[in-house]
Structure 1
C-alpha cells in the first residue's frame, strides 16, 4: 500500500501530538517538558522519587526541588530542575503515573507550589535511597522520609 505525502504528514502530526501528550518521545525528540506545567513536573518528581509512600516523603522531595530552584547553580524553573540530566529518576518526565499515588502527588504539589516546605529538609538539595551509605565526609544528613535520606553537602573542615 502506498501512502501519499499528505497522509504521511498527517500521520506524523498525529504521532507527535499523541506522544507529546503522553510525555513520550517520537524519533528521539522529547516533547513532554515543553507541554507540562510547573505543577506537573513537581508532581512527577515527587511521585517517582518518594516511592508514593507518604505525603511527608513527597513534601520532602518537593522541598528539595524548590531548594534547588532558588540556587544559582540550578535551573530557575521547576521543570528545568526536574528535567536536569542524571538528577532524578530516569523517565521522571515521561513515564506514566498509574496508581492513586498520582492523586496524593497532585495534592502535595499544590501545597508546595503555595509555599509549604518540609521543615526537616532545611537547606538540603540532595537525597538518595534510605539505607545506602557513601564514603564521602561532606554529606550532612538532615532527614529520612518516603524511603529517602536527605542531605546537605557541606565543606569539610
Structure 2
C-alpha cells in the first residue's frame, strides 16, 4: 500500500507542477495571437529568416547575455519594419555595410543553439521593449561617426543602441 501511495504522491506532484505551466503557455499563446503588431509579428517564421537572424545574433552578439541578443534581434526586426531598410530579415542582415561580421564557421554549437532560440522567439512576435525603437547599434569598443547623428536609446551589455527617426542636430 505504501508503494501505491508513494507513486500517487509523485504523480500528483508532477501534475501539480505541469498544469500551471501548460495553462500559462496556452494563455500566452492566446494573448500573443490577439496582440501581435508590426510586420515581423504578422510574418510566419520561415527557415530562411530564422537562419539569417540566428547567424546575425551568433556573429554579432554571442558574447552577450540573452537580453543583449534579444536587443540585437529587436534592432534587426525594427529595421524590417522601417521604410529605409529592406523588408526582410535576410535583406536587413545582408545589407551592404550594415553588419561587421563575416560569415565563418560556427564553432560554438551551444551559443548558436541559444541564438536560434532567441531568434525564433523574436520572429514569433516576442515583445520589442528593450531598445526603445532602436534601428542602429554598435559595440562599445568602437565609436562610429553616425552615432552622433542619432538619439541614443540605451546600452545593454557591450552594445549601445540608437533610434534613427530622431536625428540630433550636429552643430
TM (normalized to structure 1)? 0.68
Aligned to 2:68: 57
Aligned to 1:78: 89
Aligned to 2:122: 112
* 1:156 paired residue among 153, 164, 168: 168
Per-residue CA distance 1:132-153 (angstroms, 9 max, x = gap): 4456543322122242111113
Aligned to 1:96: 105
| Cα distance in 2, alignment partners of residues 52 and 37 from structure 1 | 23
Q: Are the aligned partners of 1:59 and 1:112 in contact in 2 as well (CA < 8 Å)?
A: yes
Moved more, 36-45 or 146-155: 146-155
Distance 1:138 1:54, change over 3 A: same
SS at match of 1:37: helix
TM (normalized to structure 2)? 0.63
Structure 2 residue runs of 5 or longer lacking an equivalent are 1-46
Distance 1:85 1:49, change over 3 A: same
Structural RMSD (CA): 1.9
* Displacement after TM superposition at 1:97 (Å): 1.6
How do 1:2-151 residues align onto structure 2 when only pairs under 5 Å count? Answer: 37-91=48-102, 94-99=103-108, 100-133=110-143, 137-151=148-162
Count residues in correspondence.
Answer: 120
| Cα distance in 2, alignment partners of residues 129 and 49 from structure 1 | 9
Instruction: Select the structure of larger CA radius of gyration.
Output: 2
Per-residue CA distance 1:3-52 (angstroms, 9 max, x = gap): xxxxxxxxxxxxxxxxxxxxxxxxxxxxxxxxx71101001111111143
SS at match of 2:126: coil
| Cα distance in 1, alignment partners of residues 113 and 64 from structure 2 | 12
SS at match of 2:167: coil
